[in-house]
C-alpha cells in the first residue's frame, strides 16, 4: 500500500508513521507537511532514512503539490491541521485555511485520482462542552456544537469530508478522538508544557480553577484505532476514540505530575483562564469497541509516568522548542 500522511511532522502524525512503518514494513509512506511552528523534522529522525519513507515539505492547500502526490497514493490519512486552541483564539485565519480549505483540496485530489480511502483525523472538541456535574459522554450521534475557532474549523472539515462521501461517493472514514498525550508533543500543549516546566524547575501553569476535564488517551492507542479503522472500518462511518480516564481534571493531572517530581503544591500556579474554555469532554468509544474490537491498552497512571520519563530522557527534542512555546503564553498572559 502507498499512504500519503499529511501533518506527519506533528505530534500524532509522527507517532502514526513510526507505528505504521513498524507494523507494515512493506508499505510506502509519503509525509506531506508544511513545517509550521508545530511541525518538527526532529520528530521523524528515527525513521527518516527508512527506504519506504519520503518527506515532502508542502501545504495541503496547494493543489499542485497535493495532486502530484495523491496520483500515486492508495490511502490518505489527514492529520495536517492547525491544532492548538490557544493559537486559534489569537489568530483564527490559518485555522480556516488549513483545516477547511486544505481538507477540501485533499478531498478534490482524492476524488480525481480514485484513491481507495480518505481517513480524516478529527477531534471530540467538535461536540462542544459537557457539564461538570453530568455523566454524559459524546458519541457518534451527538450534535455538533463547536465553541472555539479551532473546533469550529475542525467541525467544518468533518462536514465537508462527509459531503464528499454522500455527494460523490468518495470512500471516507472519520475518527473523532479525545486528548492525546505521549512522546513528541509540542511543549505548547498542557501535558508537554507542564512536564517540561517541572523538568526545568518551574511551576505548572493551570488555567482558571483547574477544574476542566478532558478524556486522555495515550497516542499509540490513537494510532491503533486509526489502523483498525483503515483496515476494517466501514466506508462513510465515523468512530469516536477515547481513553481510560474517568473525569480527571487538569488540576488532578498537575498534582500527579508535581508529586512525580517530589515537589509540593507550591508548584501549581493558577492563572488567567482560556477564553470560552470548554468545561468537560468525555468520549463514549463503545461503537469502535463493539464493531472493530478496539480498546485502549495504555492505562493513565503508568503511561503518564512513562511519558514524563520520555521527556526527561529526550531534552534534545523539546529544549529547542520551549522558548517558542513560552513566547505564545507571554502574549496571552498565561505565564
Which residues of this chain interact with ligand NAD, rule CB under 6 A? Answer: 6-7, 9-13, 32-36, 38-39, 59-61, 79-83, 98, 102, 121, 123, 154, 177, 179-180, 186
Q: How far is the CB of 74 from ligand TDX (least distance, A)?
A: 27
If binding is defined by CB under 6 A, does position 99 make contact with ligand TDX? Answer: no
The residue from 59, 124, 220, 227 that is catalytic is: 124
Complex with ligand TDX: residue 38 or 107, whichever CB lies closer:
38
Q: Contact 187/317 with Cβ under 8 angstroms?
A: no
| Angle value at C-alpha 234, between 228 and 240, nearest 5 degrees | 60
- H or E element, residue 4: strand 2-6
The rounded distance, in Å, linking the Cα atoms of 204 and 143 is 34
The rounded distance, in Å, linking the Cα atoms of 34 and 109 is 18
- Is position 125 annotated as part of the catalytic site? yes
- Is position 124 annotated as part of the catalytic site? yes
If binding is defined by CB under 6 A, does position 125 make contact with ligand TDX? Answer: yes
* Binding segment toward ligand TDX, per CB under 6 A, in 70-78, 204-212, 234-242, 305-313: 204-212
Q: Contact 91/67 with Cβ under 8 angstroms?
A: no
Q: How far is the CB of 21 from ligand TDX (least distance, A)?
A: 24
Q: What are the angstrom distances between the C-alpha of 226 and each of 2, 78, 176, 294, 301? A: 16, 11, 10, 10, 23
If binding is defined by CB under 6 A, does position 85 make contact with ligand TDX? Answer: yes
Q: Contact 294/225 with Cβ under 8 angstroms?
A: yes
- Is position 251 annotated as part of the catalytic site? no
Pick one of ligand TDX, ligand NAD, none as the site partner of residue 190 (Cβ within 5 to 8 A by kind): ligand TDX
Report which residue's Cβ sits closest to ligand NAD: 10
The SS3 of residue 19 is helix
Site for ligand TDX in 214-253 (CB under 6 A): 214, 250
Binding mask 162-201 for ligand TDX (x = CB under 6 A): -----------------x---------xx--x--------
Residues 6+ apart with CB under 8 A from 33: 6, 7, 8, 9, 10, 13, 39, 55, 56, 57, 58, 80
- H or E element, residue 148: none
Provide the annotated active-site residues: 124-125, 150
Amino acid at each position: 500500500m502507498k499512504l500519503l500522511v499529511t501533518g506527519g511532522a506533528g505530534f500524532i502524525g509522527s507517532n502514526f508513521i513510526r507505528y505504521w512503518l513498524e507494523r507494515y514494513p512493506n508499505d510506502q509512506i509519503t509525509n506531506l507537511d508544511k513545517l509550521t511552528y508545530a511541525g518538527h523534522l526532529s520528530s521523524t529522525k528515527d525513521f527518516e532514512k527508512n527506504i519506504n519513507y519520503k518527506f515532502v515539505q508542502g501545504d495541503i492547500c496547494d493543489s499542485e503539490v497535493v495532486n502530484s502526490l495523491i496520483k500515486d497514493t492508495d490511502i490518505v490519512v489527514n492529520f495536517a491541521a492547525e491544532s492548538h486552541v490557544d493559537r486559534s483564539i489569537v489568530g483564527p485565519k490559518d485555522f480556516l485555511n488549513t483545516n477547511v480549505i486544505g481538507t477540501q483540496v485533499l478531498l478534490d485530489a482524492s476524488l480525481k485520482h480514485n484513491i481507495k480511502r480518505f481517513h480524516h483525523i478529527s477531534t471530540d472538541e467538535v461536540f462542544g462542552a459537557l457539564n461538570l456535574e453530568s455523566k454524559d459522554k459524546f458519541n457518534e450521534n451527538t450534535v455538533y456544537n463547536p465553541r472555539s475557532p479551532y473546533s469550529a474549523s475542525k467541525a467544518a472539515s468533518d462536514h465537508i469530508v462527509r459531503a464528499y462521501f454522500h455527494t460523490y461517493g468518495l470512500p471516507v472514514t472519520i475518527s473523532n478522538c479525545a486528548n492525546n498525550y505521549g512522546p513528541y508533543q509540542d511543549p505548547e500543549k498542557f501535558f508537554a508544557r507542564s512536564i517540561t516546566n517541572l523538568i526545568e524547575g518551574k511551576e505548572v501553569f493551570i488555567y482558571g480553577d483547574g477544574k476542566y476535564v478532558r478524556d486522555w488517551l495515550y497516542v499509540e492507542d490513537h494510532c491503533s484505532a486509526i489502523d483498525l479503522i483503515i483496515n476494517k472500518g466501514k466506508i462513510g462511518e465515523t468512530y469516536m476514540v477515547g481513553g481510560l480516564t474517568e473525569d480527571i481534571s487538569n488540576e488532578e493531572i498537575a498534582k500527579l505530575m508535581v508529586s512525580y517530581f517530589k515537589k509540593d503544591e507550591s508548584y501549581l500556579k493558577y492563572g488567567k483562564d482560556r477564553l470560552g474554555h470548554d468545561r468537560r469532554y468525555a468520549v463514549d468509544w463503545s461503537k469502535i469497541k463493539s464493531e472493530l474490537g478496539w480498546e485502549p491498552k495504555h492505562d493513565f497512571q503508568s503511561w503518564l509516568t512513562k511519558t514524563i520519563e520520555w521527556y526527561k530522557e529526550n531534552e534534545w527534542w523539546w529544549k529547542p522548542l520551549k522558548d517558542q512555546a513560552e513566547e505564545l503564553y507571554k502574549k496571552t498572559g498565561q505565564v
